Structure 1
């Protein structure tokens, strides 16, 4: 692949951790503004090169950087403001959508200890999430808001309230509209912990580990929807607005679309466990209406899965059967990798979608890198960086190098594949001096026609280390 080189143009600095970067045209404007959602609950926009506050919901966000009462996570957190999407008719109707973790909903968590499967003990791979009303970590909400030109934006209605078992794997950039269907897409992780202890991602009735389409044009207006964990718990009028696109998700960096002739290629990034990070692509899919799923469950039947997308987790971590790593004490340079869920890997082997490309936490090949966690996937359709035109760009939060200090994230790219083979990828060289500060690449975004790329960088992995964020435009 062609070796590409880019530079970074700072747009705004000293902000809190940026989770979503996207543009929209404000009602009454004739140009796009760049919107930046910060994990702590702030949304800014850049207009005429000046930063302005669009919305501040910090008081609505759960206290970040802590877990159950009295237990600290050292400032690291995966909750907060995670999704922002503008209605396709935002210019005319002012509607936008938020996904965030709700203040005051902290619970004790669904497990009292760190989970790790043990292939020698089948009980460890058949855990159940019991007593869900008390054994949970927090509640997430998906809401519809309306922008008012001469007043503060106002919440209009709640679409979903979700009780989550663990603090992590909530997704990021989790709300996006489909240019194909005009519907809102919620991308949501497997519920958290590690190794999906309750196998929620493959259970058709569980909300977690799924990609869900929401028809926001159907005004259900149930004032305060119940807090749910399963599709069967959702009131029928809300069920009627939902279809299921995919399952087998571990943790996800949103969904993006690339126009290809008269159809769209869809891209989703699935964050890995211990071995590999993966990007998937698909064009055709057959969503399953949620009422059909619920009815099939009541009848103890299985709806047709033909054309349904399955990313393979938890049996598969990208292109590998899910494994856990056992350190070899006699040879620290070598790890033993043990298949965690052999039977599940076999069961999903022919049903799963194969990745477009994967990259690894350890990679001995020249011109590659060891990754940590996938943070963004976006197509680039601009021509200012010709070597990248038509590419699928992706970011990893932190490159693994034994001698690297301070930390640097990674920008890389692959090409849209049509031959059903695993694609290669190439690292993009960045000509920018971050100085002595760490630079974690935490988000990736584009403008409306995907001709501009934006990169969110943070100086720390901790959401509680404030004002260490910079948003850049990626330029030639």
Structure 2
């Protein structure tokens, strides 16, 4: 696929790391506004050419840039304010939803040392997450808020409290409403640490590594839900609000929906381990009520393996590849040895998994491609202003491999009608970032998906402040 040229028009600069870009119309307003959520806990919107604060929950956010109490991680973090979604009837009911990592919940982590599977040592392949009440990293919460008539947002209730094993793979842009079902969709990563050491993503009982629908119409009358890691630990009234769309997720930059006649194509992506980043799409799926999953937990067979249930294949598969461990050949990196990490799991999920519509790679020798680092956004573009992108799926990667200074990259692909893996093309930009780094951290659209917005940041560290710029992607 050929490259496409676009311009980047700066809209806002000098903000903190942008994790979510969403559009909506405020109650009583007449203009669609772009909303920006930052990892540290701020939500802004653009109004009449100026940036205004919608909500500031920084005191509610865990102390970022540290791992265990008092220990620095060099400023890199994957926790914070990760999800923002406006109710489909937000204009009338003022309801919106947040997903964030809670202040005061820092734990020591689920493992005492770095995890790497060794296919020659079975003890390293299937670890157990034990003593979860004490061996965890932090607690994430999903909350319902209301924008009151006086213009002040207020929390209404907590929907879920999730204990997470590690600091990373919590998802980002993790809350989106399905226009198909009207339910709130939560995308959770596998919990982190690389290679999913506890295989949470394929375990039907584990909340980690799933795409979950939440029926927010149902009131559970439970104001303070218990902190859990597994579906069967949830009270029945909460179980009854949940269905599971998919499993086998590693880490995920949200889900987006494209209407084609009377059907919706769902687009999402899986952040890779060492080799590949992947974009997926599906139309039909068979969500499973959590109450049924819990009832079937006593059976040895997986209830979610039935036809129509979506499985992205992780940890047996990394996109289009069986999951590999890389062993470096110092004399020639091009000949690095790659060993299948979980051979039996790759076989087990080979026919059950959904295949990606495209994968792009951390190393790609083709002259018209790029080496990626981490997928950060996936959005369909339905506009006509950039004709070469119309009807395509646009995606962002945080940082092109070996770019100096560090630069993110925009690219696009299309879903093939025959369902086979497609190639991708680069979207070239003309913007001069100067000598500083610019990582592409988030991607958003307006309500009818005819405009694209990009959130860029000047550092990998959430503790480096005010280095963010929001751009509109224009012809």
TM-score tier, shorter chain, comes to: over 0.9
**Alpha-carbon deviation of 1:115?**
0.2
2:267 paired residue number:
267
Give 1:329 deviation, angstroms.
2.5
Q: Which runs of 5+ in 1 are unaligned?
A: none
Give the total of aligned pairs: 474
1:367 aligns to 2:360 (yes or no): no
The CA deviation at 1:330 is: 3.4
Q: CA deviation at 1:334?
A: 2.3
Gaps of 5+ in 2: none
Contact 2:2/2:426 (<8 A) preserved: no
Q: Name the counterpart of 2:290.
A: 290
CA positional deviation for 1:301 = 5.4
SS at match of 1:116: coil
Mapped to 2, the partners of 1:71 and 1:196 lie a distance apart of: 23
What is the CA–CA distance in structure 2 between the aligned matches of 1:176 and 1:205, rounded to whole Å?
23
Corresponding position of 2:20: 20
Deviation at 1:262, TM superposition (A): 1.3
Q: Distance in 1 between matches of 2:317 and 2:440?
A: 26
Q: Do the aligned partners of 1:157 and 1:221 also contact (CA within 8 Å) in 2?
A: no
Q: How big is the alpha-carbon RMSD for the aligned residues of Structure 1 and Structure 2?
A: 0.9
Contact 1:177/1:183 (<8 A) preserved:
yes
Match of 1:468 in 2: 467
1:242 is matched with 242
Contact 2:204 2:302 in 1 (8 A): no
Q: Which residue of 1 aligns with 2:382?
A: 381
The residue number in structure 2 matching 1:137 is 137
Deviant stretches of 4+, over 3 Å: 298-302
1:338 corresponding residue in structure 2: 339
**Which residue in 2 is equivalent to 1:354?**
355
Report if the CA contact (8 A) 1:27-1:92 is conserved: yes
Q: Report what 2:431 is aligned to.
A: 432
Q: Please state whether the residue corresponding to 1:296 is helix, strand or coil.
A: helix
- For 1:408, the equivalent position in structure 2 comes to 407
Cα distance per residue 1:448-473 (max 9 Å; x no partner): 00000000000000000000000000
User: How far apart are residue 120 of structure 1 and its match?
Assistant: 0.4
Give the secondary structure class of the aligned counterpart of 1:201.
Answer: coil
Q: 1:95-143 CA distances to partner (integer Å, 9 max, x unpaired)?
A: 0000000000000000000100000001111100000000000000000
SS in 2 for 1:462: coil
- Check conservation: 1:55, 1:153, Cα contact below 8 A: yes
* 8 Å CA contact retained: 1:176, 1:255: yes
Q: Give the stretch that moved more between structures: 321-330 or 29-38.
A: 321-330
Q: How many Å apart are 1:170 and its aligned residue? A: 0.3
SS of 2:77's equivalent? coil
Any idea what SS the aligned residue of 2:179 has? coil
Query: How do residues 217-236 of structure 1 correspond to structure 2 at under 5 angstroms?
Result: 217-236=217-236
How many Å apart are 1:299 and its aligned residue? Answer: 5.0
Is the 8 Å Cα contact of residues 440 and 458 (structure 1) preserved in structure 2?
Answer: yes
Deviations 1:34-59 (A, max 9, x none): 00000000000001111000000000
Indicate yes or no: 2:85 matched with 1:85. yes
- Paired with 2:62 and 2:438, the residues of 1 have a C-alpha distance of 26
Q: CA deviation at 1:234?
A: 0.5
Q: Distance in 2 between matches of 1:415 and 1:199?
A: 31
Quickly say closer, same or farther: Cα 1:332–1:356, change in 2 above 3 A.
closer
> What is the rounded CA distance, in whole Å, between the counterparts of 2:375 and 2:448 in structure 1?
23
Report deviation, 1:252.
0.2
| Aligned residue runs from structure 1 range 170-249, under 5 A | 170-249=170-249
Name the residue aligned to 1:251: 251
Distance 2:370 2:43 in 1: 33
